[in-house]
């Protein structure tokens, strides 16, 4: 096995491990980002996700962690347009967090 193949396999293993560990879909992460920017509280976001999809594996703590922007979505999870939207949304979330932390 050459070095490039090893690196590709390593990347795939990490991606699979991190997405299964996360237990929440990429679309749910986008939803959380959007609602945080709109000013929703994390408990309201959690309740909305659970009402719309009772089978979701999301919990309150995960919503709080993800609402800080601390959640990576991999390119393979979304279409290219949605992935670009995710990157922009994540930047907007960081800016929103900076502004609200200065006010607090």
Question: pLDDT tens digits for 72-93?
Answer: 899 989 999 999 999 999 999 9
Residue 12 lies in a domain: no
pLDDT of residue 102: 64
8 A C-beta contact, residue 31 and residue 89: no
pLDDT of residue 103: 59
**Is the predicted pLDDT of residue 48 greater than 70, yes or no?**
yes
Distance from C-alpha of 57 to C-alpha of 62, rounded to nearest angstrom: 10
CA distances for 69 relative to 5, 41, 72, angstroms: 31, 14, 8
pLDDT of residue 71: 85
Residue 96 lies in a domain: yes
Residue 97 lies in a domain: yes
Residue 19 lies in a domain: no
Q: Confidence class of residue 36 from pLDDT cuts 50, 70 and 90?
A: very high
Handedness of CA 23, 78, 41, 18 (dihedral sign): positive
Residue 89 lies in a domain: yes
Q: What total number of domains does the chain contain?
A: 1
Domain limits for position 43: 24-103
Residue 79 lies in a domain: yes
Structure tokens at 45: 């976001």
């Amino acid at each position: 096995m050459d070095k490039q193949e090893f690196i590709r396999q390593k990347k795939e293993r990490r991606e699979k491990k991190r997405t299964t560990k996360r237990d929440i879909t990429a679309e749910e992460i986008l939803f959380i980002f959007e609602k945080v920017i709109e000013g929703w509280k994390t408990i309201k976001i959690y309740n909305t996700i659970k009402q719309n999809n009772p089978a979701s594996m999301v919990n309150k703590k995960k919503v709080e962690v993800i609402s800080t922007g601390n959640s990576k979505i991999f390119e393979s999870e979304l279409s290219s347009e949605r992935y670009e939207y995710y990157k922009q949304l994540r930047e907007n979330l960081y800016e929103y967090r900076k502004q609200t932390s200065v006010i607090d």
